Structure 1
Amino acid sequence: MKRDHVLKRLREMHLDVDIPPQATFYVWLNLEKLPSPINNGLTFFEELLKEKTIVIPGIFFDINPAHRRNLFNSPCHHFVRLSFGPPLEELDRGLDAIEKVVKTARKEGTRAFGHSYKKSLDSTSDHHI
């Protein structure tokens, strides 16, 4: 029931879950279609922390032996992992926070989140995470 509730709320926000979970209580949310800067897991995570909501950036799950590639090039970079394990009222508070951040980004873009993100995203080739 909670899984279906979370997926329905995410669909209503026009957020993509490429593969709905079948045997876990985690959702992998695809952020690629969101406006910059919240279209990557790290920035999305940071903005949701401001709303007292935690998601896990996808790159935290990237297996990158010997650091062969920059994590900004990770196939997990545009994802976050959500859990629908908490009680429904907590899930709704978190989903409300996600909705607030997404609406702000869609309405105001980069300027809603400060200038420091743009600089760090523009120079990703210089970062070695």
Structure 2
Amino acid sequence: MPRNGDTLLLPALSDNSLAKIALGLRDNAASQWVFQALAQDVRIIALHHPDAAMPSAYLAQLSRYQETLRQFGIRMMGQPAAPQASVSHSAVVTAVTVRDVRLHSEDTLRVRPGTLITPAARVR
């Protein structure tokens, strides 16, 4: 295991391991190494190349996982999981809850691809 001052390089981080690390799961070798390295203040570089042919909602979730790893202090290399959408001056909704549905006055609520819709909001 790397020590302080070393670098842990993950040259082919899978979507599965990316998700597990972002969610705090430590049930495979890559995720265990990452959390040990984080605990020892070891620099971590991860290369992740998502399959661009996957559905946009899947790529958006991978992008959020990549951002979580960056917040952990992990340097992410490779292509981003989803292209950055241009942001208008209005607020961008990334999740829709049952409260949002109840407050919405129209019959139809339009959301962007990749928006998380909670189970309770789907039923409404």
TM-score (normalised: structure 2):
0.26
Structure number with larger C-alpha Rg: 2
Greater share of helix: 1
TM-score (normalised: structure 1):
0.26
